[in-house]
Amino acid sequence: MKLDYLLLDVFTREPLKGNQLAVVCKADGLLDGEMQAIAREFNLSETIFISKPQGERNTASVRIFTPGVELPFAGHPTVGAAVVLGLQNKVTAVRIEERIGLITALFERNDKRSGEARFSLPQLPVRIASLDDRAAIALALGIEREEIGCGSYQPAVFSAGVDFHLVPVRDAGVLTRINLNMGQWNKTFPHGHNSVYVFTETPQESGNDLAARMFAPGMGLVEDPGTGAAAAALIGLLSEHADLGTGQLDLTLRQGHEMGRPCRITLQLRKENDVLIHGGIGGHAVIVAEGTLDLGNHA
């Protein structure tokens, strides 16, 4: 069995930055366990498998795996797959079937190996729970209790298909000092895969409005450089505090800087009569390598 694959850097215009992604093409016929094993072999934050669509009007069907679990939705694989499909099919929009539902992504080509994709969230973020034990949060993140909170933002759990514990911190300096303490991690962050998105506003920085770090030991990841699904969840918390009434807010978030893999994620939210009606995620991606998986008869 031979399968062609591409390696991309996502949420960046530059090779060797951003969040790495493996894209396995023509993955029709692979079993769940085979896809999970291949994702574990690549050992990147996520691997996406592209197959023929079920709907004739759609471009492709995909499955998304971390080294440890399958996800119904993820942002950086969606952006990466949309760029690959846009380049291959020479189109400006692609329709991707994911476990969470159908996603339409708009694509803009930069050159023959890179482009930008933007998509509306297939599921708007919803508040799952509050996070009230600041002492436990501070202990788990290795920061001071007084450093939790940013403006009026308070810790909470949101999901736009994948649950994330959102923890606002005082400033970007706090982000750099995080030192994980896993002893009480799952008890402190009990929802979903125990994933935590720590974020702050960055009014002193040019080129971005927010900064974040994402930790997901339950997904087989210590830290992820750029997490679209977490940014999608964050749109829910941002919406609660956005004094728009009716209007649109466009923001840029940086992630991955502390890992040496800087990512830039664009966020969009639209409200009507103070109700969130649209959320969007976008970013650039560049193909950096291609190859063939040679699995013989042992996949």
Active site residues: 46
| Cβ atoms of 249 and 274 closer than 8 Å | no
| Cβ atoms of 297 and 18 closer than 8 Å | no
Rounded-to-integer distance, Cα 265 and Cα 204, Å: 18
Burial class (CB in 10 A: 0-12, 13-18, 19+), 281: buried
* 32: number of Cβ within 10 Å: 10
Q: Helix axis angle, 228-241 relative to 75-89, nearest 10°?
A: 120
What one-letter code names the amino acid at 214? M
Specify the 3-state DSSP secondary structure of 282.
strand
What one-letter code names the amino acid at 204? Q
